[in-house]
Amino acid sequence: MIKAGIIGATGYAGAELVRLLTAHPHAEIAAVSSVTFEGKALSSVYPAYRGLNDMVCEKADDVVKKSDVVFAALPHGLSQELAKQCFDNGKIFIDLGADFRLENEEDYKQWYGGEYKDKALHQNAVYALPELFRENIRGKRIIANPGCYTTGVPLALAPAIKMGLVKHQGIIADCKSGVTGAGRGLSQGTHYPDLNEGFHPYKVAAHRHTPEIEQTLSHLAGEAVKITFVPHLLPVNRGILSTCYAPLQEGVTAEQVKNAYRSFYKDAFFVRLLPDGAVADIHDIKYSNFCDVSVHIDMRTHTLIAVSAIDNMVKGAAGQAIQNMNLVCGLDETAGLTMMPPAF
């Protein structure tokens, strides 16, 4: 059994790691940590875990010592030293934060206000969106787990970008996220009376996931891709719906686009390409690692409209991190992640 440790186990992403790893057939949770709740039982923070996981939150150093694989569910800026500690001690480090996602340090400085503390360490990290970069992930020990929007948007557009079916200018990603994406901390913007029965965009043309999305799409395109990215906050707990618009290249037909998507995702277990007439819906992917994708063509404006739906806490965070652990450790990629979404 793989001994898995979770640093930051009492945040939403950390709590999802606990939920999913508890049922994993080839892994067991060796230790958990939390700065806020150190010395307290995890089940006292999340009563739903009572009797299933009553582990006491320890220090991060103890988690590293007891684990083969360390998951870090921390805010940006807090993972680099832990990654170094794990790397030097032969551990696998899977970072759910942003410290290793951007290849260009200048982008990290601009969007996150930080710097790379150990540039050589960053050279050993791999950006791990399995459906797009699976072969790059195997055997690596520092894993940059993608963010939520940065999973949903690329999976909606990847086949069209990779196969040259759309233009690389004028792409728009119009996304809606549940409130868990903002984390467990309290804020005015997520206060129930302010959020309930409302719906609004936020960080318009200024969201930190912009360069990460562009980095992924640029790799697929083989040249620089810029997008217009506007996230919105939905008054629901979970889910991200990404509606992406891209101008089709001249002469491209609807059948070409649909065949490209079928071919691209034919072996991707977690990407469910929906049949004609169906539309991706966050209702259908909750609590699962699936990404539902629906493809639509507006022939009047010659525009691809690709819609993806993911659970931001699972495929957009903890589930994808476990999918990456499976790949790195040589397990079946789907191990521990085949739970069926609830029907209602």
Indicate if the alpha-carbon torsion angle 26, 31, 37, 39 is positive or negative. Answer: positive
Concerning whether 291 is annotated as a catalytic residue, the answer is: no
b/e map 109-120, b = 16+ CB within 10 Å: eebbeeebeeee
Q: Residue 176 to residues 195, 201, 244, 287: CA-CA distances in angstroms? A: 14, 8, 11, 17
- Which amino acid is located at 126 in the chain? V
238 near 148, Cβ under 8 Å?
A: no
Tell me how far apart the alpha carbons of residues 189 and 325 are, in angstroms, rounded to a whole number: 34
Length of the chain counted residue by residue: 344
Q: Among the options 57, 148, 175, 291, which is catalytic? A: 148
Q: Which of 30, 59, 56, 60 is nearest to 42 (CA)?
A: 56
b/e map 73-107, b = 16+ CB within 10 Å: bbebebbbebbbbbbeeebbbbbbbbbbbbbeeeb
Name the token pair of 255: 């059948």
Tell me how far apart the alpha carbons of residues 280 and 310 are, in angstroms, rounded to a whole number: 9
270 near 316, Cβ under 8 Å?
A: no
State the virtual CA torsion across 284, 334, 72, 60 in degrees, nearest 10.
130
Residues annotated catalytic, as ranges: 148
